[in-house]
Every structure is written in C-alpha cells, then in structure tokens.
Amino acid sequence: MRPRVSICIATYRRPRGLARLLDSLERLKLPPDLVVETIVVDNDADGSALSIAQSRSDSLRPLLYCIEPRQNIAHARNRALSKACGEWLMFIDDDETADEAWVFEYLALVDREECDGAFGPVLAELEEVATPWLDIETFYSRRRYSTGTPVGPADLYTSNALVHRRLFEGRGFDPSFGRTGGSDSELFRRMQSSGAHFLWCDEAPVVEFIPPERHRLGWLAQRAFRGGCVATRLERGAGSTSSGYRAARAIAFSAALLLLSPLVALRGRRRLARLWLRICTQAGHLWSLLGRSYEEYGPRRDP
C-alpha cells in the first residue's frame, strides 16, 4: 500500500539526536489504516547513521536508509525527495523530537482546510545549562500562531513542515544554500510565490534540543550574523528593494543600535545581549550586500 505520508530526515553525525528522534516517531499515535514511511538520508559518506536506522527497521515500517555522499544539506534533502512515495512529505531535523499527535494533527488540518501544506511550532529545550542568564523564552523561542493562520515567508522551514508532493514537481532544494543555510526557506518561498497556500498548525509541535555549545552568546551571535546574510540573499533573489537602499538601511539601523547600547546596558545584560544580536543581524545584511557569504554548515558540524 502506498504511504500517505513520507517523513524526511537529513542527518549528519548526530547519533544521539537521530536515535532520540526515531524513538519519538515510534511513539506516534496513528490510525491503524494510515501508512507512514520514514526516510533517513545520511549525509556522511561513511554511513555513520546506518546502525541506528537498522535498529529501528522493525518498529518503523517502512523505513528507508540511504547515503548522500555530497556533504550539503540541500543535496541530502533532495535525495529524500527522490525516495519519498507519500502524498504528503513531512520534514523534521535530527536534533528534534515529534509530539505523539504530530502526524495526526497535520493531517486533520489539511483534511478540513484547503491548503498545500502546513508548518508548526518548534519548542526549544536545553540539554544542559551552560549560560544560566540566557533563558529559553528570551533567546530561543520562535513565533507561534493560532491554527489555520496563513504562514508568511519568515516562518517557512524544514524543522517542522508538511508539504504536498505535487509542489516538488520540477522543484528542489538549491545546493548553493547548502552550506550557508536557507535552502528550505528559499524553496518554500518559491512555492509560495507560485501560488502555494500554507497554514499554521499549532497542535503539531516538535522539540528542538539545544546542546551546551549552543547555549552561549557567541553561538547566538554567529547564528544572528548568518541569519542576516541569508535573509538579504533571499530578498535579493526575490527582487525586493535595491542593494543601495538595503545597505543604507542596515548601516543606519546598526548606528542607531550602537548609540542606544549605553542606555540599554543600564537595563541589564539580557537586553544588552538582545541588542548585540540585532547588530550582528545587521552586520550579516551588510556582509551579504558586499557579495560575501557565511558558511555555517561546513565539513564539520555539531555531533
């Protein structure tokens, strides 16, 4: 029987995270007649995730494991697309876990609402506290909406998504974004600009686990800088405003933030840190406007 849902997972040397994710998929509450396939694409040419996938082959049926030797997240995601047989494709990251009702709630939404896909909340959870004053709510939380809300370009990502397979016909993830990040946002924005209608499903959360090396201001600054680079690149690709205007805006905003920093510092280090992250984002905008890029996902990545 053809699966209705294909769960697509790209992984690279995260054995503990992948095992935790697959454990959560084993706990999904599904109707007995629903066929869900799980696709694990190992972006490690050495096949380091093989044993973990094999250990779940009886509990997660069908489960397909394959290797994408070209180390690039977009290539790995495209390999998953080429293997998926489901009517709906679901995406989740290898450092996340799914709620028991994850699949059920998504399908309930698309069965009652006319749409081409849906996106859901990503809830951060610390594996270990490394920097006590960097609280989850202030520095790691993402926006949430009521179920059925149309999703805008800023909330399109593969960390928690369901998209109809017809939208991938003739489309794929752009490998030029594979090392910088943003290949998911770029593809889903292309779909949206072609008329795709995406909704929010707040009852289908996933949990993202934050390791101690990411519970630091330095990592957040790095991520903010990368986010600014990618955001500007996406805007330029969509033909949004001129480069000169964007540069002037970023410089002016950065200058204003720097001038405000002494006043903000008086209100505590959390507020000062948030200001610093906004400056890092603007620096990323400028870096991209200068024609430079920032590769967060290089040959080595968090285990």
Q: Does some domain include residue 14?
A: yes
Match 């998209």 to its residue by tokens. Answer: 163
Q: What is the pLDDT of residues 123-167, one digit of tens each?
A: 999 999 999 999 999 999 999 999 999 999 999 999 999 999 999
Given phi > 0 = left and psi -120 to 50 = alpha, else beta, which region is 281? Answer: alpha
Contact in structure between 174 and 183 (CB atoms under 8 Å) = yes
Q: What is the pLDDT of residues 161-198, one digit of tens each?
A: 999 999 999 999 999 998 888 999 999 999 999 999 99
Q: Considering the entire predicted model, what is its pTM?
A: 0.88
Contact in structure between 66 and 83 (CB atoms under 8 Å) = yes
**How many whole angstroms separate alpha carbon 243 and alpha carbon 191?**
24
Looking at the fold, whether 138 and 113 belong to one and the same domain comes out as yes
- Pairwise pLDDT comparison (79 vs 242), residue with the higher score: 79
Q: Quick one: average pLDDT of 254-264?
A: 56
**How many whole angstroms separate alpha carbon 226 and alpha carbon 223?**
5
Looking at the fold, whether 152 and 274 belong to one and the same domain comes out as no
Count: domains in the chain: 2
**How many whole angstroms separate alpha carbon 36 and alpha carbon 85?**
10
Q: What is the pLDDT of residues 206-258, one digit of tens each?
A: 999 999 999 999 999 999 999 999 988 888 765 555 555 455 555 555 555 56
- Pairwise pLDDT comparison (300 vs 175), residue with the higher score: 175
Q: Does some domain include residue 295?
A: no
**How many whole angstroms separate alpha carbon 70 and alpha carbon 94?**
18
Looking at the fold, whether 268 and 183 belong to one and the same domain comes out as no
Enumerate long-range contacts of 143-149, CB under 8 Å, 24 or more apart.
144/200, 144/202, 145/200, 145/202, 146/200, 146/202, 147/109, 147/199, 147/200, 147/201, 147/202, 147/203, 148/109, 148/113, 148/199, 148/200, 149/199, 149/200
Q: Indicate if the pLDDT at residue 302 is higher than 70.
A: no
For position 301, what pLDDT does the model report? 43
**How many whole angstroms separate alpha carbon 248 and alpha carbon 229?**
15
Distance of CA 170 to the CA centre of its chain: 22
Nearest to 199 by CA among 142, 141, 143, 152: 152
Q: Give SS3 for 171.
A: coil
For position 294, what pLDDT does the model report? 74
Looking at the fold, whether 24 and 99 belong to one and the same domain comes out as yes
Looking at the fold, whether 119 and 173 belong to one and the same domain comes out as yes
